[in-house]
Structure 1
Amino acid sequence: MFIRTASERDLPAVRDLLVETWHATYDSIYGHERVTEITDDWHSIESLAARLKRPNGEFLVADDGRRLGGMAFAAATTDPKVLILYQLYVRPAFQGRGLGKQLLHEIEDSFPDARTVRLEVEQANSEAVAFYQANGFRPTGDTVNCGGSTFAIPALVYEKRLD
């Protein structure tokens, strides 16, 4: 797998990766119907295209030439020292091989002025929580509206210092 910046032509494959990963991860937490509703909104081609064009953002994919194994999207806040990691997903068949860590490091390297990375993670997603903790993130709070108020999803807020 090599990590590269995503392009418009990647968006259908990114959507497929996200839908597969979300159902594998969240169906047991939220149910299949709700996960479909969330992915149809958050991971629509239009939503992904908006992220691709976001100023001060980086949208990465892990590609082996045949299929995408993972993706990550982050953007600097109005304070360039604070980076928000909005998405980091690895296709289930590629999990446990270090791909998530590679994506995370590439995102961090893409923002040389950043000193803090912040993210939200579903508490019931124990594998993601363990991944972030193993990669230096520490809990700093929680939210009741992960990803916005549309779906009212509670989540933990984690941060990692980069300096």
Structure 2
Amino acid sequence: MTFFVRTASRADLEAISALLTETWHDTYDAIYGSQKVSEITASWHSITALEPRLTRPQSEFIVADDGVRLGGMAFAASSDAEKKLFMLHQLYVRPDCQGQGVGTDLLEEIVQAFPGAERLRLEVEEANGKAVGFYRAHGFVAVGQTQNCGAAESGIPAAIYERPLVA
């Protein structure tokens, strides 16, 4: 199937939530355990949690759609007043769609959405080897650590990666 990247809509929220739940369980059950992953996805990936992203200023909320289902999603937003640093909050590809270019297409669209930005930053669980490899292959380098990935006081450690966006 061919996936097309487009802006996420309110009608997509249920499918995005399901995609995130499936992908998180596939990726993180072995790291955090199924129960903790279920708790996180119920909080972070609920329709209620996702909905404000549809109207957040200086952000891009996109999906990869093949006309039948969503193969992936991404969300990024400005992290500073000058709009020079953007944070890639999410980039997830359904497990059976990984390795087909969906993640690359989503990442390229995110980069194009922020002309004038100088850097794109993200946080990634270091035990998620597939994601670390993906980001490194796309020009990201480790620049630091956080003890609270994804949300304040989450207690989830992660590496911070950045990619310069200007030559």
Range of TM-score over shorter length: over 0.9
SS of corresponding position for 1:111 = coil
- 1:13 matched residue in structure 2: 15
Q: Any idea what the Cα deviations from partners look like across 1:47-71, whole Å, max 9, x if unmatched?
A: 1001122111100000001000000
Q: What CA distance in whole angstroms lies between the structure 2 residues aligned with 1:64 and 1:39?
A: 24
- Normalized against structure 1, the TM-score is what? 0.98
SS of corresponding position for 1:69 = strand
Matches within 5 A, 1:34-113: 34-77=36-79, 78-113=81-116
Matching residue's letter, 1:128: A
Q: What CA distance in whole angstroms lies between the structure 2 residues aligned with 1:102 and 1:68?
A: 13
CA contact (8 A) 1:117 1:159 kept: yes
CA contact (8 A) 1:72 1:87 kept: yes
Please point out which of 141, 144, 154 is paired with 1:151.
Answer: 154
Deviation at 1:137, TM superposition (A): 0.1
- 1:28 matched residue in structure 2: 30
Instruction: State which drifts further: 45-54 or 3-12.
Output: 45-54
Deviation at 1:151, TM superposition (A): 2.5
- 2:133 matched residue in structure 1: 130
CA contact (8 A) 1:38 1:151 kept: no
Matching residue's letter, 1:9: A
Backbone CA RMSD of aligned residues:
0.7
Please point out which of 151, 160, 163 is paired with 1:160.
Answer: 163
Deviation at 1:150, TM superposition (A): 4.1
Q: What CA distance in whole angstroms lies between the structure 2 residues aligned with 1:9 and 1:84?
A: 24
Q: What CA distance in whole angstroms lies between the structure 2 residues aligned with 1:126 and 1:80?
A: 30
Deviant stretches of 4+, over 6 Å: none
- Normalized against structure 2, the TM-score is what? 0.96
* Percent identity over paired residues: 57
* Unmatched runs of 5 consecutive residues or more in structure 1: none
Matching residue's letter, 1:13: A
* Unmatched runs of 5 consecutive residues or more in structure 2: none
Q: What CA distance in whole angstroms lies between the structure 1 residues aligned with 2:83 and 2:152?
A: 25
